[in-house]
Structure 1
């Protein structure tokens, strides 16, 4: 080693102190600076100054004994490596000390110079490695906390921007829609067929844009809304939502299979929106089936409930499953199935805010099944 390791032997038996000193300072040994203290109280004063590299501790001292001796030493100098020197009659306390953070223990009467030097070297290296690991973990936690804070700020700014855009664009959109309607209603005789068609396209496009902005506004509000947790009867909620989304004729065409669902703790309004979006999708994408089937079920797994909504509709290609929950991402054209492409994004945001997950499975023309989890 490049410098003398400072060893403090805390021992009241002078013979044991002389034996350890001889082992460490004998000819040909590594460079050690050796000191001893017969009492724990005086030893604690030394280690407070951070001038010791390692302590050899006897557990039977005049002013302290057993595991308590190590605990007091550890609490005074948490970074100091400690090796317990124990007799045959107190090995149990030595083992307990190792469990509490001591680096090693050696049995008096069985200690050799080589064994002692090797134990000291390993103890210091282990303590050093442990300190470095704690330092790296602390730095990593700080970086994660900093990054999390940055992401939270970015998300708030993005949500504020989405809210501002969707809110501030409403007035000009209403103006565009209004003037296009005026052209159609008041100036239709002066417009040829192509002019009237263009006015209709403008009006339809503004309506479509208004729907998208309403969806964007709803999405941005989810990040700011406070969760109001309460017991939610999921069976009754799913049944009520399906009834609101369908007409009597549609209910006659759809085989709706609602299995008993568990009660959960969640925000009733937000969980209602989850059922609205998932059931609305199931109804929409199975609308072209002569006989549609929609099944709602749940099961318990570990510490969470897994809910599912399955239909026999159009389905989707699993190669594009990663796009399902992206905002304004759609796997079908507007001509095939109308929509804004934000419904599943809203479902994901709500479920994640409840600490859950959401995913989908399907195949083209083979229906789809969407899952989401909530804590039990």
Structure 2
């Protein structure tokens, strides 16, 4: 064992060396230092087993010497050598961390060796205690961490349980509001479990034991019972994942018949056998009643519309002949007697002719609108470009008189009635020419693009434009934004456009800015 003797008296240091070397059965390797700084250097450089420490050194005195060594090298056992037979000093040394103390006057080999050995043992015990304490502290830290984690887990579990209870409550309320109940059926024990809403749908007391499958079938309307049973058993035999069926149930409480929609999903084991079936029952009674009422109203409305369209057609057709006579004779009066009667008479005759012409135009448009509705359409692959060329050929006079220009890009084949598509082009281009700005020749551009599953046509002009507030109303029948003195028209053209486009499964809309122009867009199905 290597022992460091810290002693400033060389003679005493040699004495200690000799005493230790003479101890039988012990082997000490003794290193000496004459002051505390030299001792510190040796302790830092070498593996020292124990320190024999004099308290009266040139650079350190008394108990402070023990404190210094102990603070710098807490793991090295210290045996204090003091020249005073002073028990108090020894106890203070022990209190500061020394393992033992001896007086120089009573120094003997065996006692010194024993003191060193005991110091080493006590130091070892102390180190073991420190190690064990560190392990205990570490274990306590781990335990504390686990305890905190457990506390957090318990708290989170408590919150999760709260959320689960809240979710269950919300689910029950949602099922009640939506009239949507859930159920679970276990074939092994023929047991059915219902949610509260199923009880309410069937008008059965809540929380009573659910009926078995056979008893449930008894609640199904007799005319639907076989279909429900076939749907369930068929899904079992065909190894399907489930089934979906609509049927009626008869409430035991009041005999009321309710319409329900049921959907089921099976959960199977590895052999394909059904372990359990989970499903939902949705009370669709009100929806069915509303649908039936809507269907009834739709039928009534359809009949009314057909009657109205027939009436409009008959009126338009029957009014044409007497109106033609009125207009013809008014024009004859105007030609023969203009200037021969007074000024008022000339003006009145002019009013009659103008009003008659306007009425003829209105009846023609109304009759055409009625024909579109009553005669239907013949939809087939149609070259929209060729259709537009024919329309422009018929409109050459109006185009030439107004100095209008019509630009047209490539137009595709679409599924349309060529005549009806031509009417759409004619109305939109005619409006672009009619509603032009004063002194500005109309510039019209016709284009088409693929937009999703449809072809969108665009007819763009540089006319007077339309206020945004009228975008949704200009397609209504007889809707006019200007007086007859400003612009002629019947208010039927755009209504006819919408009717034709919707008959083809498309939509029509407008984009416009007053004083800049308008773009009318409508869609058709491509070939």
Do they superpose with TM above 0.5?
yes
Query: 1:207-226 to 2 correspondence within 5 Å?
Result: 207-226=357-376
Distance, in Å, in 2 between the alignment partners of 1:312 and 1:334 is 21
- Number of the residue aligned with 2:236: 67
Q: 1:49 to 1:162 in 2, by over 3 A?
A: same
Match of 2:431 in 1: 281
The alignment status of 1:240 with 2:390, answered yes or no, reads yes
> CA 1:251–1:260 in 2, change beyond 3 Å: closer, same or farther?
farther
- Residue aligning to 1:58: none
Quick one: structure 1 residues 368 and 8, their matched pair in 2 at CA, closer, same or farther if it must change by over 3 Å?
Answer: closer
In 2: Cα distance, 1:287 partner to 1:332 partner: 14
TM-score, structure 2 as length reference: 0.50
In structure 1, the partner of 2:13 is none
How many correspondences in the alignment?
Answer: 307
Q: Is the 8 A contact 1:359 1:372 kept in 2?
A: yes
Q: 1:308–1:370: 8 Å Cα contact kept in structure 2?
A: yes
TM-score by length of 1: 0.69
Equivalent residue, structure 1, for 2:310: 160
Distance change >3 Å, CA 50–CA 274, structure 1 → 2: same
Query: Which residue is 2:489 aligned to?
Result: 339
- Whether the aligned pair in 2 keeps the contact of 1:351 and 1:374 (CA below 8 Å) is yes
Q: Which has the higher contact order (CA 8 A, sep 6+)?
A: 1
Please state if 1:361 is matched with 2:503.
Answer: no
2:461 aligns to what? 311
Deviation at 1:334, TM superposition (A): 2.3
Extract unaligned runs of 5+ from structure 2: 1-183, 193-205, 222-232, 250-261
Structure 1: where are the runs of 5+ without partners?
1-6, 22-28, 36-42, 53-63, 104-125
1:198 aligned to which of 345, 348, 354: 348
The 3 A distance-change label for structure 1 pair 67 and 254 is same
Distance 2:333 2:402 in 1: 43
User: Residues 34 and 328 from structure 1, CA distance in 2 versus in 1: closer, same or farther, beyond 3 angstroms?
Assistant: closer
Q: Sort the Cα spacing of 1:32 and 1:77 in 2 relative to 1 into closer, same or farther, 3 A.
A: farther
Post-superposition CA distance 1:164-200 (Å, at most 9, x none): 2212222332333344345445555762121122112
Cα deviation per residue 1:73-116 (whole Å; 9 max; x = unaligned)? 979996798999988656x7548x74xxx42xxxxxxxxxxxxx
User: Distance between the aligned counterparts of 2:518 and 2:428, measured in 1?
Assistant: 11
1:324 CA displacement? 0.9
Specify whether residues 204 and 258 from structure 1 end up closer, same or farther in structure 2 by C-alpha distance, changes over 3 A only.
Answer: same
3-state SS, counterpart of residue 32 of structure 1 = coil
The 3 A distance-change label for structure 1 pair 251 and 308 is: farther
CA contact (8 A) 1:259 1:296 kept: yes
Are the counterparts in 2 of residues 215 and 340 from structure 1 also a CA contact under 8 Å?
A: yes
Distance 1:50 1:241, change over 3 A: same
Aligned equivalents of 1:174, 1:66: Cα separation in 2: 72
Q: In structure 2, what is the Cα distance between the partners aligned to 1:77 and 1:364?
A: 55
Distance between the aligned counterparts of 2:211 and 2:472, measured in 1? 65
Note the C-alpha offset of 1:140: 2.7
The two structures, once aligned, show a CA RMSD in angstroms of 4.0
Who is 1:172 aligned against? 322
The answer to whether the aligner puts 1:268 opposite 2:418 as a matched pair is yes
Q: Which moved more, 1:271-280 or 1:189-198?
A: 189-198
1:31, distance to aligned residue in structure 2 (A): 4.3
CA contact (8 A) 1:239 1:258 kept: no
1:227 alignment counterpart = 377
What is the distance in 1 between the residues matched to 2:503 and 2:378?
Answer: 11
Q: 1:8·1:34 contact (CA, 8 Å) conserved in 2?
A: no
Instruction: Give the number of the structure whose alpha-carbon radius of gyration is greater.
Output: 2
- Residue equivalent to 1:118: none
Instruction: Name the SS of the counterpart of 2:471 in structure 1.
Output: helix
Distance 1:244 1:178 in 2: 26
Between the aligned partners of 1:87 and 1:76, the Cα distance in structure 2 is 21
Q: CA deviation at 1:345?
A: 0.9
| Contact 2:399–2:433, Cα closer than 8 Å, also in 1 | no
Q: Is the 1:299–1:305 contact (alpha carbons within 8 Å) kept by the matching residues of 2?
A: yes
Q: Is the 8 A contact 1:323 1:330 kept in 2?
A: no
Q: Which residue of 2 aligns with 1:32?
A: 209
CA shift at 1:149, angstroms? 1.3
CA distance in 2, matches of 1:344, 1:254: 21
| Contact kept in structure 1, 2:471 and 2:510, CA below 8 Å | yes
> Does the residue aligned with 1:322 lie in a helix, a strand or coil?
coil
Q: Deviations over 1:36-64 (max 9, x none)?
A: xxxxxxx87x7654489xxxxxxxxxxx9
